Structure 1
């Protein structure tokens, strides 16, 4: 059996989707991509997983760190789900949490000059939905703590890159993941148009940015997305793309990347996901 080295772990951005991807037909390719990511992450043997998510923005001017232990699945879904698909409120996802880990991350952020505070909340669907596919219950469950921290209130992409840079020195084999979507327009999704142009073009721009010749140019291209004419059609509000910029900050020095779920989009939404950084070599 090979064991991971002490090399720094890579970082990931996952296009998480909503609860409908768990049971509606047609999402099998998305499932496959998320499952492949999950297997790769499990092989890294992280000691814990820290996440930012499009469903957890700070309510103050500080980054909020979850200190609740234990946490449960939060069915943070609209009231229409009770009448359309009530079975989704039966979904559960067994997982570990850690107040001690939250306190460690909180202290680290403060030491790094990031204003931060502790809060208590449960695990929202931006985490448990993709994790049910990445680390399926009864088959390949996670056995390490999951910790959520917030993004900032607002859409300052550079501030989120700086947050990722601060998190990058956490150490202790803590894997950092951003969970969001590169295109997230629920109104367009509900209208069920057949025109996927916006999601496709935003994905193409993201794919090109990852292939930039330097990490500085990569980040510049991602920051420039906000200036695109079609950006408001991809993100009427930008909370779901903020974790991407945290991921960029964590991986600011890493040129290597891998992409999953490219070209797996629907109207208004993209499941584009990627890793920054090379996989560490393993010791025999």
Structure 2
């Protein structure tokens, strides 16, 4: 059975950079037990009031950023959609008492296509994207993941894409230094999170903003960590595996995890 994954997608320029996290994502699919039937991508860059799923036959590539190199805007990731998966996701959430919107026009934002273009560069695995609800917090997204856990038994790869640390106000001063070392306050938070994940301390993780050091500084807003909680919930209480650890631009920890399976 496939695990549920959390990956850090980094800055928009990530596909154009030579970084350890990029090399990790390029080989990630080789370590999966099987090729997925489809991928459910939960990206930090699609925020809605209620869960929404994409229903397009072919996913458009959304370049949801400004001021970056031309080569970045030329990247396309035309993965097919999956009507079956969109309906299945909606049915699981609705069975849990939620309301789901279907969006036939929405494509894949860079939180989705950046990591997917490295993991499955041929864009030949169907992809459906699910939005996050930043006003709802970690516990809600953990329960959302638990609702989606049956997808793993149906050979669907669930991928939460965000950033293990994400203080954009500090990012600007480190932007030109791709390999700048992480400040102490970044590593203190990330290391606390890693230990809590390894030890299965779910209550501490759900209350990370009160219990983890420098939590609010690393995540002034929560959207980039919420996909982690979806993946954690989708792991259905199984084993966790810390797949990757590195830093880009000093303040972006690029950690990745697998929950509930082998990767």
TM-score normalised by the chain length of structure 2:
0.89
Aligned to 1:122: 107
* 1:125–1:236 distance in 2 versus 1, CA, 3 Å: same
In the alignment, which of 21, 34, 44 is matched to residue 44 of structure 1? 34
The aligned counterpart of 2:22 is: 31
Q: Is the 1:11–1:276 contact (alpha carbons within 8 Å) kept by the matching residues of 2?
A: yes
Which residue, out of 127, 147, 150, partners 1:146? 127
Once the two structures are TM-superposed, the CA of residue 210 in structure 1 deviates from its matched residue by: 2.3
The secondary structure found in structure 1 opposite 2:196 is helix
Structure 2 partner of 1:16: 9
- The worse-fitting range, judged by mean Cα deviation, of 11-20 and 99-108 is 99-108
CA shift digits 1:71-113 (9 cap, x unpaired): 21111112x23xxx22311111231212332122212211222
- Could you say what secondary structure the match of 1:18 adopts? coil
CA contact (8 A) 2:43 2:161 kept: yes
Matched, 1:192 2:174: yes
Equivalent position of 2:157 in the other structure: 175
Contact 1:198 1:268 in 2 (8 A): no
Alpha-carbon offset, residue 270 of structure 1: 1.3
SS in 1 for 2:10: coil
1:199 touches 1:265 (CA, 8 Å); kept in 2? no
Counterpart position of 1:201: 188
- In structure 2, which of residues 252, 257, 260 is the aligned counterpart of residue 274 of structure 1? 257
Taking structure 1 as the reference length, the TM-score comes to 0.83
- Equivalences for 1:74-113 in 2 at 5 Å? 74-78=62-66, 80-81=67-68, 85-113=69-97
Summarize deviations over 1:38-90 as a string: whole Å, max 9, x none.
3223x5221111011110111x2x21111122221111112x23xxx223111
When Rg is computed on C-alpha atoms for both structures, the one with the higher figure is: 1
Against the structure 1 CA distance between its residues 39 and 142, is the aligned structure 2 distance closer, same or farther, given a 3 Å change threshold? farther
Q: CA deviation at 1:220?
A: 2.0
Distance in 2, Cα, partners of 1:180 & 1:23: 18
- Is 1:157 the counterpart of 2:138? The answer is yes
Unaligned residue ranges in structure 1 (runs of 5+): 1-7
**1:178 positional shift:** 0.5
Q: Distance in 1 between matches of 2:57 and 2:78?
A: 13
Residue 155 to residue 111, structure 1, CA distance change in 2 (3 Å): closer
Aligned length: 255
Given the alignment of the two structures, is residue 57 of structure 1 paired with residue 47 of structure 2, yes or no?
yes
1:71 to 45, 59, 64: 59
Matched position secondary structure for 1:49: strand
CA distance in 2, matches of 1:253, 1:178: 16
* Runs of 4+ with >3 A deviation: none
Contact kept in structure 2, 1:98 and 1:147, CA below 8 Å: yes
Are 1:155 and 1:239, in contact at CA under 8 Å, matched by a contact in 2? no
| Paired residues of 2:188 and 2:213 also in contact (CA < 8 A) | no
TM-fit CA distance, 1:142: 4.7
